[in-house]
Amino acid sequence: MSIRSRIVALPACLLLGLTLVCAALVPAPGQAQDTAAGPIQSVLQAHRALIEKSSRKTVGEAIDAITGSGLPQAQSVLESWQAKEMWQRETDGYFFRGREIDRDTVQLYDFDSGADLGPVPDDDLKQLKPNSGVRGLIGAALVRFQLTDPDPEKRRAALDAIARDAEASHLDAIAASIAGETDAAIKAAKERTLRLLTIRFSDVENERLAAIRSFKGDLGVDARAALNPLLATKVLFSPEPPVGNIAHQVSPGGAELSVAEAHAMMVTAGATPALPGAAERKATLIAHIDGGKVGGVPIGQLDTQAARDRAYAALAEAGVVAPFTPGQTEADAVASGRFWAVYDEPSAAITDAAAETLAAISTTVGVNQALDLTLDALSLASIYFLAAIGLAITFGVMGVINMAHGEFIMMGAYTGYVIQQIVPDYTLSILLAIPVAFAVTFAAGVAMERLVIRWLYHRPLETLLATFGISIALQQLAKNIFGTQARPLTAPAWLDGAWALNDVVGISYIRIAIFVLALVFLAIYLWIMNRTRLGLETRAVTQNPKMAGSMGINPDRVNMLTFGLGSGIAGIAGVAIGLFAKVTSELGQDYIVQSFMTVVVGGVGNVWGTLAGATLIGFLQKGIEWLNPSNTLAAQTYMIIFIIIFIQFRPRGIIALKGRAAGD
Amino acid sequence: MNRSFVLRNPSILVFLALLAFFTLAVTALSEGFGVALISTSFVKTLGKTLCLALVAVAMDLVWGYCGILSLGHFAFFGLGGYMIGMWLMYERTRGIVEASLAEAPIPPTPQEVVDAIGNQIFGVVGSSEFPLVWAFADSLVLQLLLVVILPGLLALVFGWLAFRSRVTGVYLSILTQAMTLALSLYLFQNDSGLRGNNGLSGLQNLPGLDAVPQAVVSIWFLWASALALGLGYLLAAWLVSGKFGSVVRGIRDNEARVRFLGYSVESYKLVIFTLTAMIAGIAGALYYPQAGIINPAEIAPIASIYLAVWVAIGGRGRLYGAVIGAVFVSLVSTWFTGGQAPDVNLGFYTVKWVDWWLIVLGLSFVLVTLFAPKGIGGLFDLIAARRGPDRHGDDLGPDQGSLREKEAVE
């Protein structure tokens, strides 16, 4: 036994000896300072134990000591510590800033002088790895330094960090940093953050009141986030008005306090006996089954509530359970109780001011939300308009129902996708995709008109069916070529992001681009129809093909070109829609019914009607969604029902053609 | 005029005889009652096809005879399915719930049973309360009445609104399509009370008949479907053969002229629209217990368009054409999409029918519309040596199918 232990101990002895020799031979850098530790090193050494065994609960004292030392090096110490760049020499316990060069060597720097102590083998060094809780505390302490950092970006980042996770200690730090702030924008942000922190953490009531009032009409989410907690209440049961900042009296049964909760409160307070529910009484009955009977009632008869009540009454009479009157309800019991909502915030002045400020804010927010909703609705309307304008030409002007219109939209979107595969630059590929998509769908439209539609001009219902056949064929073809998964059509980087007026009103750049595109198309359409030979001929053919023909217009050619134009516009709409929706073979299908609705509601044969229809449908859908935001399916359902009823009153749409062109 | 309408329309007898022969033949070959040459699932497919034929007859009445291209009749079909599905699901769940509650120490009260059923049925949509629409779900008679009444009522209200404002032609088609879309979107919601996109399932199990094998149940439904188709066909044939049918065809060919003759066009249209909706509801109520599941996707507008496709391919304006179209297209579709059709190897590309069938269907549909407006049913004209007038591509008179006076005399 002893021999063995000696053999084991020998290498250990050797190792120890070697280390000692090494330590003696290699002059450890910074050893000169052993005797005279710098000021910050002294502070660190004073709290050495806390720093070594850092835990979120205890380390605060050490951090406070470092920050409170007032030394210029304090910031770099904290930064290194937080970044896990602080190393401790195990022999004497001194701390250094270190950077790992490789697995075994560390480049060390002295904290006090900042002197480079050269690369050192890490045998004697231990890296301090504070956990995330401790790093958070260090970060909070660092804020004081960061708020006065010369780099504006760092100051901004520090403010953001405070906004995310504010603490009472930040209050003084910000207040102290404002005076020296040179950047006007950051100064304003600091002052705003200061006011927010004052509301939350200040002890001086007047300051808080002033801060609260200063946020009247402010749209920031952070302002509401700071004010709302002030109005948090809790509901108490008390026969007399309780002490504290009472908000109002509560009657049970509302959103604030359910009858069951109210009853539970009264039972806890001992003001009313507990009412066992039906399930509880059933459990009691089961527990008291005695030889096939409960309270004298055979089990087989317990299949009605009345029989169960009888059995329970019998048990109560026998004194086994607490008595219970079947007719009594919780609502009766709570009717006699008085309930109060009491603010968590003790000061009535504060809560009044907060309520007043929030009311003012909510008015402003309401106005801005209406504005935001209007923007959303406009954007939706422009999407519907884009999808429908091609249809307004083929259906509205030519009277041809093209069920494959949606598939032309899809074709345009896929064209954009294919071009992005070939041309990697997003801006260029989108600019290229628009004319190419027009060309592709124009060709498809002309081919369809030549091959199918012109044989069916006198049979509109059959056009519907034939084009539907083409539509399912095209859809399946797209599925076969591109697969069923969605393909991305990526917008160029300059279309990313959103234009935000304030925290409430904002709209993405893609939607603005689509809105502009819709306006451009409106202009192009008006120009073609009113200012070009094709438009003139189209209008003539629409009104009377035979007369137009006798005037030297070739109706076949005009129909072909008009149909191609409508299809081509659908292709461009496809590129636009593909930018924000996933490109799948069902892309067009999702828009086809809405597009027809737009044209029908607006009035056939008039682009202003299509515009009005798209606007009506866009605003209507957003309006219904606003009333019931959780349910877009219901919004669509109600919108369609509205349209069906709308058609009752204006069967020819909002803008109806009059005279001969109206046909009939 | 003394001859009965059956004698005036010999095609009815032929059709009924064929239907009876088909039903008996399938029964004799089935697993449940015969020599087990036809699998139960195929018997169900045939039974479902008969239901589709029935709704196609309804579609033919409203489109081929009255000229209203309704894109909403599959919605009525689905509503019928939902109505019967509610009862099937309720009763079957009750059976399960009662069996599990019977093991409890004390017997359940009626309220407890209802609560447990609600929990079972609506658990998937995070609810346990019975919505109002399930008020009659425990009564077979009432739900069977609703199969007819609900689609009829919806068609009546919608038709009244649409016809009185003189919405016709393609506008009406789009409007009916919008109605269908609204209905299916509504049913897709979880809080519509019909289990959202989960739909109703397990409908193939008849409550209280767990002991009867599906092989037998499938034959029962085949008979019921055949009976419904036969009766529906008779009713439709009777309707279109009399004066009523003449007025309805007149509306199709020239609505304004019929109105000027003093007929109340709106009433005729409304009767046809509502009646066909009811027939569609019955067809749906027979279809979905065979399919086993119904969900809102079945009601989507595309289904109604397919219905129009069947009728067009089979041949509009003749009842047997609608039946032929529905049977032919749906069976061929099943064959192609079921993966039974052999792939065609072209050397450079292998045509998989599962992928290419819809393209073939779509294009063949275009071809039928262009070159054979009479559909498959038109082939029977060749047998009867009845030729349409060759007008060299000119307009076909007041409306497509009708003959001009001179041609009619010839």
Per mean pLDDT, which range of A3-12, A141-150, B243-252 is the poorest? A3-12
Other beta carbons within 10 Å of A24? 9
Record: contact A456-B188, CB cut-off 8 A: no
**Which residues have C-beta within 8 Å of that of residue A422, sequence separation ≥ 6?**
A429
For chain B positions 197-256, those within 8 Å of chain A (CB to CB) are none
CA nearest B177 in A: which residue? Answer: A593
For the ranges A20-34, A389-403, B293-307, the lowest mean pLDDT is seen at A20-34
The nearest CA of chain A is from the CA of B375 a distance in Å of 12
CB-based contacts of B276, cutoff 8 Å, min separation 6: B58, B59, B61, B62, B70, B73, B76, B155
Q: Is A282 on the interface with B (CB under 8 A)?
A: yes
pLDDT at B384: 66
Interchain contact A648–B (C-beta under 8 A): yes
**Is B182–A472 a contact, with Cβ atoms under 8 angstroms apart?**
no
Do A239 and A378 belong together in one domain?
Answer: no
Q: Identify whether A361 is part of a domain.
A: no
CB contact under 8 A, B186 and A637: yes
CB contact under 8 A, B167 and A647: yes
Is residue B202 included in any domain, yes or no?
Answer: yes
Residue A33 reports pLDDT greater than 60? no
Residue A376 sits in the same domain as residue A328 = no
Which of the listed residues A200, A231, A262 is the one where a domain comes to its end? A231
Q: Tell me the residues of chain B between 151 and 170 that have a Cβ less than 8 Å away from chain A.
A: 158, 161-162, 164-167, 169-170
Smallest CA–CA distance, residue A407 to chain B, in Å, is 13
Q: Judge whether B93 and B120 are in contact, CB under 8 Å.
A: yes
- B109/A contact by beta carbon, under 8 A: yes
For residue B383, tell me if it sits in a domain: no
A506: left (phi over 0), alpha (psi -120 to 50) or beta: beta
Q: Could A452 and B366 be called an inter-chain contact, meaning their C-beta atoms sit closer than 8 Å? A: yes
Query: Taking CB atoms and an 8 Å limit, are A644 and B179 in contact across chains?
Result: yes
Contact across the interface for A593 and B178, Cβ inside 8 Å? yes
Maximal CA-CA distance, chain A = 126
Q: Which of residues 373-392 of B touch A (CB under 8 A)?
A: 373
Where in A86-181 does DSSP place strands (E)? Answer: 86-89, 95-100, 105-109, 116-121, 125-127
Q: Is residue B264 part of a domain?
A: yes
Q: What is the dihedral of CA A581, A587, A588, A591, to 10 degrees?
A: -50
The pLDDT > 90 percentage for chain A reads 11
Q: Per the CB < 8 Å rule, is A631 touching B109? A: no
Within-domain flag for B14: yes
Residue from A546, A593, A625 whose CB has the most chain B CBs within 10 Å, to mutate? A593
The reply to whether A243 and A226 lie within a common domain is no
Residues B152-165 as b or e (16 or more Cβ within 10 Å = b): bebbbebbbbbbeb
Phi then psi for residue A294, to 5 deg, are -125, 120
Interior CA angle at A512 toward A510 and A517, to 5°?
95
Contact check, Cβ <8 Å, A473/B362: yes
Contact B105 A634 (CB under 8 A): no
The residue of chain B nearest to residue A604, with distances taken between CA atoms, is B171
Question: For residue A308, what pLDDT is reported?
Answer: 82
More confident residue, B14 or A218: B14
Number of domains into which chain B is organized: 1
| Partner-chain contact B370 A455, CB within 8 Å | yes
In a domain, A446, yes or no: yes
Question: Do A644 and B161 lie within an 8 Å CB cutoff?
Answer: yes
Residues A118 and A151 placed together within one structural domain of the fold? no
Instruction: Please give the Cα distance from B155 to B162 (Å, whole number).
Output: 10
At B7, list the tokens: 């004698």
pLDDT given at position A32? 42
Examine the domain organization and report whether A545 and A649 are in the same domain.
Answer: yes
State how far the Cα of B281 lies from the Cα of B82, in Å rounded to an integer: 9
- What secondary structure does DSSP assign to A63-113, as a single string? HHHHHHT--TTHHHHHHHHHTT-EEEETTT--EEEEEE-SSSEEEEE-TTT
Q: In Å, how far is A652's CA from the nearest CA of chain B?
A: 9
Rounded (to 5) percent helix, strand, coil in chain B: 70, 0, 25
- Shortest Cα distance from A383 to chain B (angstroms)? 19
Q: Chain A contacts of B308, Cβ < 8 Å?
A: 465, 468
Contacting residues for B172 by C-beta, under 8 A, at least 6 apart: B68, B69, B70, B162
pLDDT of res. A51: 82
What is the 3 state secondary structure string of A640-657?
Answer: HHHHHHHHHHCCCCCCCC
Indicate the average pLDDT of chain A.
81
Give me the pLDDT at residue B386, please: 58
A520 and A416 fall within a common domain: yes
* End residue of a domain, out of A191, A207, A231: A231
CA atoms within 13 A on the CB side of A449: 26
Chain A residues lying within 8 Å of B309, measured CB to CB: 465, 468-469
Name the β-bridge partners of A77.
Answer: none
Best residue of B98, B163, B174, B252 to probe chain A, by most A CBs closer than 10 Å:
B174
Q: Give the residue numbers spanning the domain of A158.
A: 147-231
Instruction: Identify the segments of chain B with pLDDT beneath 70.
Output: 1-4, 6-7, 384-410
Asked if the Cβ–Cβ distance from B178 to A637 is below 8 Å, we say no
The confidence score (pLDDT) of residue B385 equals 59
Distance from CA of B72 to the nearest CA of A (A): 13
Return the top range by mean pLDDT from A424-428, A598-602, B151-155.
B151-155
Q: Is residue A49 part of a domain?
A: yes
Same domain, A379 and A247: no
Residue A403 placed within a domain? yes
Q: A459, B69: Cβ pair inside 8 Å?
A: no
Question: Is residue B185 in some structural domain?
Answer: yes
- What is the CA A212 to chain-centroid distance, rounded? 27
Q: Is residue B360, in this structure, part of any structural domain at all? A: no
Mutation pick from B65, B113, B166, B170 vs chain A, by most beta carbons of A within 10 Å, is: B170
If asked whether residues A54 and A124 sit together in one domain, one would say yes
Contact between A473 and B312 using a beta-carbon 8 Å cutoff: no
Nearest-by-Cβ selection for A651 from B166, B312, B362: B166
Q: Which of B107, B185, B373 sits opposite A300 (nearest CB)?
A: B107
Exposed e or buried b for every residue in B233-265, given b needs 16+ CB within 10 A?
A: bbebbebbeeeebebbbbbbebbeebeeeebeb
Tens digits of per-residue pLDDT, A264-309?
Answer: 888 888 777 777 777 777 888 888 777 777 777 887 777 888 888 8
**Are A20 and A97 within one domain?**
yes
**How many Cβ pairs within 8 Å bridge chains A and B?**
158
Query: pLDDT class for A410, splitting at 50, 70, 90?
Result: very high
Same-domain pairing of A205 and A106: no
Does a structural domain hold residue A17?
yes
CA separation, residue B145 to residues B35, B83, B87, B292 (Å): 37, 9, 12, 21
My answer on whether A481 and A565 are in the same domain is: yes
Question: Are A402 and A372 spatial neighbours (Cβ–Cβ below 8 Å)?
Answer: no
What's the pLDDT score for residue B287? 95
User: If you write DSSP's letter for every residue of B112-155 in order, what string do you get?
Assistant: HHHHHHHHHHHGGGT--SPPGGGTTTT-HHHHHHHHHHHHHHHH
Please say if the pLDDT value at position A209 is more than 90: no
Same domain (yes/no): A381, A523: yes
Token representation of residue A372: 């935001």
- Confidence band for A510, pLDDT divided at 50, 70 and 90: confident
Q: Which of A231, A256, A274 is the last residue of a domain?
A: A231
**What is the domain range of residue B122?**
5-300
B347: contact with A, CB 8 A cutoff:
no
Beta bridge partners of A109: A97, A116
Distance from CA of A645 to the nearest CA of B (A): 8
Whether residue B206 is contained in a domain is answered as: yes
Taking residues A433-455, what's their average pLDDT?
93
The reply to whether A617 falls in a domain is yes
Q: Which of A302, A636, A647 sits opposite B175 (nearest CB)?
A: A647
Confidence (pLDDT) at A25: 43
Residue A142 maps to a domain: no
Which ranges constitute the DSSP H helices of B9-135?
Answer: 10-29, 40-59, 73-101, 110-122
Structure tokens at A61: 């004292």
pLDDT level of residue A36 (50, 70, 90 thresholds): low
- Tell me whether residue A526 is in a domain: yes
In a domain, B287, yes or no: yes
Question: A664 versus A42: which is more confidently predicted?
Answer: A42
Structure pTM? 0.76
Cβ-defined contact of A456 to B370 (cutoff 8 Å): yes
Which ipTM did the prediction report?
0.82
Note whether B145 contacts A: Cβ–Cβ < 8 A.
no
